[in-house]
Amino acid sequence: MARVYPRAWFGDGISATADARLSITSAAVLYGLSVYTVLPVTVSGESVPMGFRLAEHYRRLVNSARIIGIDTWEPAWSEERFAAAVAAVVRANEVAEDVFVRVSVHVDAEMPGTRSRGISTCLSMFVSTAEPILPLEGARLKTSVWRRIPDFAIPSRAKVNGAYVNSVLAKQDAIDSGYDDCIFLDAAGHVCELSAANIFLVRGGELVTPSTAQDLLEGINRSTVLAIARSMGVPAHEREVDLTELYIADEVFACGTSTYIAPVVEVDARVVNGASVGPLTARLRQRYLAVLRGEDAEFSSFVTPLG
């Protein structure tokens, strides 16, 4: 279980995490009308906290809000103000270990009805220890009995709190069946993602991941893995993926902020790569961790010192 740090950002400044609360009459509580992102902060060898891809996480919040029609947050929050708030909450908690910072934009207007425009919002951030949500030695996955919500119902590109009921249903079904997580399929039966992570497979030395047209989150770590693979000269493709391709893949892995790069050793009771970490997965994970910690010169722009 992750440990939550005692200081949070709420509204316009730092507060005790226990005091950062929303009204039970707010749209965030009544309708799940919040958008969010989770960003990793790692601590370098010089004990300097490093925020990962802050600009992209800010842009995710902006894009999610735009898609949902939340229009009062972006004018009040520039990228510079966002980065300063992340740094402030990290400093307030005297972070000296790897952590996750969960940032949410809440529609805090009380009893606004089912609408999103022209109503008040507030920003919250809290810090927790960086506990991965999948076993890093190898995850076992089950195809979900629940389908991924399609873009024409609730858009997957928007990271909306209320939409995660879909993920809860699917992951709980997987856990109840003795697995670690689920694999979502879209309405046409193509592979989308896990409950809260993107998925990759390796076939014949080439990396494949479902395209962003497959009702999935355009993950920041997904794009990082693709950039690293191309830097390493590994052919990487974004396309439709059939479930049976996972059954015969050379390697399968999941990626995400809270997942890092987690090898998949079983899909629907079918063993992947002898239930061991595949060679390309291992190479990508080693490089990814170096990028995440600011130890890779080629991708040094991906990290921002927060000291």
Q: What is the pLDDT of residue 1?
A: 84
Q: What is the pLDDT of residue 307?
A: 76
Summarize the confidence of residues 178-199 as an average pLDDT.
98
Alpha-carbon distance values, 145 to 5, 219, 249 (Å): 36, 23, 22
Is pLDDT above 90 for 10? yes
Task: End-to-end CA distance of the chain: give it in Å, rounded.
Answer: 27
Q: What is the pLDDT of residue 53?
A: 98
Summarize the confidence of residues 101-112 as an average pLDDT.
97
Taking all residues of the chain, what is their mean pLDDT, rounded to a whole number?
97
Is pLDDT above 90 for 60? yes
| Tens digit of each residue's pLDDT (9 = 90 or more) over 145-175 | 999 999 999 999 999 999 999 999 999 999 9
Domains of the chain: residue spans and CATH: 7-129 (3.30.470.10), 139-292 (3.20.10.10)
Measured CA to CA, the distance from residue 158 to residue 65 in angstroms comes to 7
Measured CA to CA, the distance from residue 283 to residue 225 in angstroms comes to 11
The pTM assigned to this predicted structure is 0.96
Measured CA to CA, the distance from residue 73 to residue 124 in angstroms comes to 12
DSSP state of 185: B
Q: What is the pLDDT of residue 210?
A: 98
User: What phi-psi label fits residue 292: left (phi over 0), alpha (psi between -120 and 50 degrees) or beta?
Assistant: alpha
Q: What is the pLDDT of residue 46?
A: 79
Strand 99-107 relative to strand 121-129: parallel, antiparallel, unpaired? Answer: antiparallel
Residue 252 has phi, psi (to 5 degrees) of -140, 140
Q: Identify the band that residue 44 occupies on the pLDDT scale cut at 50, 70 and 90.
A: confident
| Tens digit of each residue's pLDDT (9 = 90 or more) over 282-295 | 999 999 999 999 99
| Tens digit of each residue's pLDDT (9 = 90 or more) over 242-258 | 999 999 999 999 999 99
In degrees, rounded to 5, the angle at the alpha carbon of residue 81 between the alpha carbons of residues 8 and 13 is: 30
Buried b / exposed e across 23-56, counting CB within 10 Å, b at 16+? eeebbbbbbebbbbbbbbbbbeeeeebbbbbbeb
Q: Please count the other Cβ atoms lying within 10 Å of the Cβ belonging to residue 168.
A: 12
Indicate the burial class of 225 (C-beta count within 10 angstroms; 0-12, 13-18, 19 or more).
Answer: buried
Summarize the confidence of residues 188-215 as an average pLDDT.
97
Going by C-alpha positions, the residue among 29, 105, 32, 116 that lies closest to residue 69 is: 116
Is pLDDT above 90 for 271? yes
Q: Identify the band that residue 45 occupies on the pLDDT scale cut at 50, 70 and 90.
A: confident
Residue 287, classed as helix, strand or coil, is helix
